[in-house]
Amino acid sequence: MNTLAGKHLVLGLSGGIACYKAAELCRALIKSGATVQVVMTDAATQFMTAVTMQALSGRPVYTSQWDAREGNNMAHINLSREADAIVVAPASADFLSKLLHGGADELLSLLCLARPIDSVPLIVAPAMNREMWSNPATQRNMAQLRADGVHVLDVGQGDQACGETGDGRMLEAEEILDELQAFFTPQVLAGQQVLVTAGPTYEAMDPVRGITNLSSGKMGFAIARAARQAGALVTLVAGPVNLGTPRGVRRVDVRSAIDMLAAVQREVTQAQIFIATAAVADWRPDTAADQKIKKDGSGATPQLAFVENPDILATVAQSPAAQSGALFCVGFAAESHDLLAHATAKRLRKQVPLLVGNIGPSTFGQDDNALLLVDAQGAREVPRASKHDLAHELITDIARRIQSVPV
């Protein structure tokens, strides 16, 4: 599911050093399937050339309201009517003030003012020095712009070109891309709180060794991201993985199955949907040695005893919230063979309304996957696709299901 595919966006650049990020954003939008028409203020051309933006967008850049290419000499009308949205990135303090007061002394502000408000949303990514951002005048402007229906993105925090450090940096291109994808994603989970588990667990044998599995966590992280983009408040309980936290998702890091169970029990009381994608170790060593278990050259092997780990999904599925229908539980089954039979049996054993099966060895660590959705009515295959696309399809499927489940 690519919500930007086929969209036509006007990408406006106002003056600021963050214009260099607009080049990367333009390229990312094109790769996502959108068409991009770049409009630059005179100040923006001091930081980035129109030639660069033309090369990245594949379209001539507009810099003047008097551009003779428009037969009716009304670029501000034509460009705004053709757009699915106008995105201003970077949006300087001066430009935001101009928007607030309806200023229109150059093409970009003019087309923002002339856009059909009901059909062409305006999205702005502020970028400025930390003192400019925290100034009461700027904050008043931001509040009023939001009240007027402008979609104002957050700012980043960190080192600034002036040498200072603080709030006011424009978001990175990938962060803005994520926000735009979320903006165009149907908000099918608006108001819902979703808890997702992801990744493997690690069961220590001694301070340096342990038992784990090959789960990368990519599917669970993609589901958390898709749920957030669909409007949900998302908490992600993650085992030991090397993945960045999806934007807008609250992350809780854990290590062992016992840790994960404790975190889930703590967080699930606030959730309406629980999606257990984590590949939790079935067993753990009965005791973990305080020091590294070393071989002594005799050929003797260490004697390890194992105990069964708690079943996190089954524990949650048996909770009063899940039993009453107030909590919708989704389980995952990573199998090596006989997927339908094992997934069907696991769904009945765990007593969950939906079980998602996949073949573990062919998906662990990969960027794509194929799924089998198993419920009381039978099973449906979801063909192999990117985990990003599968996550959106699964979230849409869950949203349809919970709309018919009494709470």
User: So which residues are the catalytic ones?
Assistant: 162
| Spatial contact of 158 and 18, defined as CB atoms under 8 Å apart | no
Question: Could you tell me where the DSSP H helices lie in 104-164?
Answer: 107-114, 130-134, 136-147
Helices then strands, counting H and E runs in the chain, come out as: 14, 19
Q: What are the φ and ψ backbone dihedral angles of 128, each rounded to 5 degrees?
A: -170, 170
Instruction: State the virtual CA torsion across 191, 8, 171, 220 in degrees, nearest 10.
Output: 50
3-class SS at 82? helix
Can you read off the two tokens belonging to residue 186? Answer: 């149907």
Residue with tokens 């990519």: 218
Of the candidates 256, 252, 244, 259, the residue with the CA atom closest to the CA atom of residue 196: 252
| DSSP-assigned letter for residue 1 | -
Task: Please state, in angstroms and rounded to a whole number, the distance separating the CA atoms of residues 151 and 156.
Answer: 16
Beta strand pairing call for 354-359 and 368-375: antiparallel
